[in-house]
Chain A
Amino acid sequence: MNRNGIEFSDAQLQEVRRLQGLYPDTRGALLPVLHLAQDAFGHVSLEVEEYVARLFDLSPAHVHEVVTFYTLFFQAPKGRHIVSVCHNLSCHLTGAQDILRHLKARLGIEPGETTEDGRVTLLAVECLCACEMAPMMQVDDRYEGGLTPAKVDALVDALR
């Protein structure tokens, strides 16, 4: 029935229903379910938005307006790993620009871009609220601090 292969498994659908049941209005589960959808389908394409909209009985426009508001939802394919370098004040004061410059050269891409092999998406982001470990970045789920070019190389090289 679904043209694009965009469909949750039965277990995932059960999780959707569980999440929707936690809120006084099912719509409260929209962000958690979009996280789930991004994990399942890689990114939140227009087709994913339509699919999720149907699960919530919302218009696709409502879901689109939500998806585009938040930085953690990707509307286009992203790399297998996300490297987000903080460039806010405390990281700026401790060398964030050097870290970012180093990473751009090392990966050969600008913030917002993905390496050609699809391995890494590089982002420059606002305060991740771990300023005590500045300069710092987020590598997928992990926070990494006290960065130096050598440490950054080791972290990035370990990504497959």
Chain B
Amino acid sequence: MSAPAEKILTRNFHRPDSHTLATYVETGGYTALPKALAMEPAQIVDVVKRSNLRGLGGAGFPTGAKWSFIPKGHAGPVYLVINADEGEPGTFKDRYLLERDPHALVEGMAISARAIGSALGFVYIRGEYVQPWRRFRAAVREAYDAGHLGRGFDVVVHQGAGAYICGEETGLISSLEGKKGWPKLKPPFPAIKGAFGAPTIVNNVETICHVPHLVNRGPEWFARLGTKTQGGTRMYSVSGRVRRPGVYEAPVGVTLRQLIYDFGGGVTGNGTLKAVVPGGSSAAILTADEIDVTMDVDGLRNAGTMAGSAGVIVMDETVSIPEALMVVARFYAHESCGQCTPCRESTGWIYKMTERIVEGRGRKEDLDTILDLSKRGAGTTICAFFDGAVGPYISYIEKFRDEFEALIPK
């Protein structure tokens, strides 16, 4: 790619006052909302569909299609819930949006609410995000004072209390209802029976921040920025052993190589790339010769991994892959909600096995046991958490098996 692409979501990030209503309005903010209010809800859904916007929270589901699952002519309340529980290791984009462009989320919510027929929206912000929560809450107050909220659509800002699983949409809904964050079996999907028993759309912060731009500039413009099956740009979080860690906005067709070398400035450590996780810790790992992939949902799916939350974690040659897997396994063992036997038991055991392998006490059969537990448990659980854990378990071992075996006493 030659010329740097246009920034959309991050266009104001360099301004110290980017979070204020004044700056947002000065740069074209709150001009899409009146347009949307003059449109029929179905027209807005159609714009989102034609834009090829896909959810940026992890699953990559087409946003317009999700919205159209709300039962037509539903009489009771419909809720819009924003997932700001950002917790996927390696991801930090939503934090930037809440802190540096909170009004984009407010305006996006007001437009989305019109599209799905909602009068009440919730923003579920992870409990650790205290500063982002303050920023966002202040923006909501400004928006009320300016009359952008409170005329048929209200926003409640909710604080979580520390639990990765509340990022999973049904776990989030349980938590929002004042319960422990246990995910629920689907169906029913939230669009049919979600928060407080009502039809509910759960969308990621970044997904909804795109919406005002779709209305203002049209779906074709957005679709053209991306690939055939996914429109637009997205925010890539780049971290680990890389010279310039940070959040970078790029078209979804950007390659992983470009993100590591052009945006991230190249590899630190000994300077030679060994492996990279492309979509948050739940995405399967890629080796150094697998980085010429495009970072859209389908490009990464075809490469045997996933776009997930677009958190890119870079590892150089000196990184111990077994140690990295132990760290990742500790996370999944800690965060399993404990409802499903395969997830609760396997995450704990797999962490113990990776730990003893790293400490030189591994057993010959451990690697195959991990692979077996992973393959047999995948797809059998209430939520996709365990499938997410299986991504690293299998890929780290299958792609770097020699390194694990070298640590296991003969």
Determine, out of A6-14, A70-78, A112-120, the stretch whose residues face the partner at the interface. A70-78
CB-defined contacts of B92 to chain A, threshold 8 Å: 129-132
CB-defined contacts of A66 to chain B, threshold 8 Å: 178-180
CB-defined contacts of B281 to chain A, threshold 8 Å: 88-89, 127
Contact of A129 among B87, B161, B179, B246 (CB under 8 A): B87
Q: In the assembly, what is the distance between CA of A142 and CA of B130, in Å?
A: 8
Does A41 count as interface, using CB distance less than 8 angstroms? no
CB-defined contacts of B334 to chain A, threshold 8 Å: 126
The B279-312 residues at the A interface (CB cut-off 8 A) are 281, 311
Q: In the assembly, what is the distance between CA of A100 and CA of B178, in Å?
A: 34
Residue of B nearest to A142 (CB): B131
Q: In the assembly, what is the distance between CA of A112 and CA of B92, in Å?
A: 26
Determine, out of B56-64, B107-115, B235-243, B250-258, the stretch whose residues face the partner at the interface. B235-243
* A75 nearest CB across to chain B (Å): 13
Q: With A22-B156, A132-B237 in contact, do A89 and B89 touch (Cβ < 8 Å)?
A: yes
CB-defined contacts of B178 to chain A, threshold 8 Å: 23, 25, 27-31, 56, 66
Number of residues of chain A lying within 8 A (CB) of chain B:
41
Interface residues as binary, A103-141 with B (CB distance below 8 Å gives 1, 0 otherwise): 000000000000000000000001111111110001001
Does A34 count as interface, using CB distance less than 8 angstroms? yes
Interface residues as binary, B175-200 with A (CB distance below 8 Å gives 1, 0 otherwise): 11111110000000000000110100
* A28 nearest CB across to chain B (Å): 5
Interface residues as binary, A12-37 with B (CB distance below 8 Å gives 1, 0 otherwise): 00000000001111011111101100
Residue of A nearest to B318 (CB): A93
CB-defined contacts of A90 to chain B, threshold 8 Å: 89-90, 239-240, 245, 313
Assign chain B's interface to a size class. 35 or more
* B134 nearest CB across to chain A (Å): 9
Q: In the assembly, what is the distance between CA of A127 and CA of B90, in Å?
A: 7
* A43 nearest CB across to chain B (Å): 13
Q: In the assembly, what is the distance between CA of A93 and CA of B269, in Å?
A: 9
The B306-357 residues at the A interface (CB cut-off 8 A) are 311, 313, 315, 319, 323-324, 327-328, 330-331, 334-335
Interface residues as binary, B48-67 with A (CB distance below 8 Å gives 1, 0 otherwise): 00000000000000000000
* A26 nearest CB across to chain B (Å): 8
CB-defined contacts of A143 to chain B, threshold 8 Å: 131
Q: With A66-B180, A132-B246 in contact, do A32 and B159 touch (Cβ < 8 Å)?
A: yes
Does B160 count as interface, using CB distance less than 8 angstroms? yes
Q: In the assembly, what is the distance between CA of A58 and CA of B77, in Å?
A: 25
Contact A129 B331 (CB under 8 A): no
The A26-78 residues at the B interface (CB cut-off 8 A) are 27-32, 34-35, 56, 65-66, 69-73
* A112 nearest CB across to chain B (Å): 13
The 3 closest A-B CB pairs, nearest first, are A30-B178, A71-B162, A70-B161
A and B contact pairs by CB, cutoff 8 A, 14 listed: A27-B177, A35-B159, A35-B161, A69-B180, A70-B127, A70-B160, A73-B161, A87-B327, A90-B90, A94-B241, A126-B334, A129-B89, A129-B92, A130-B95
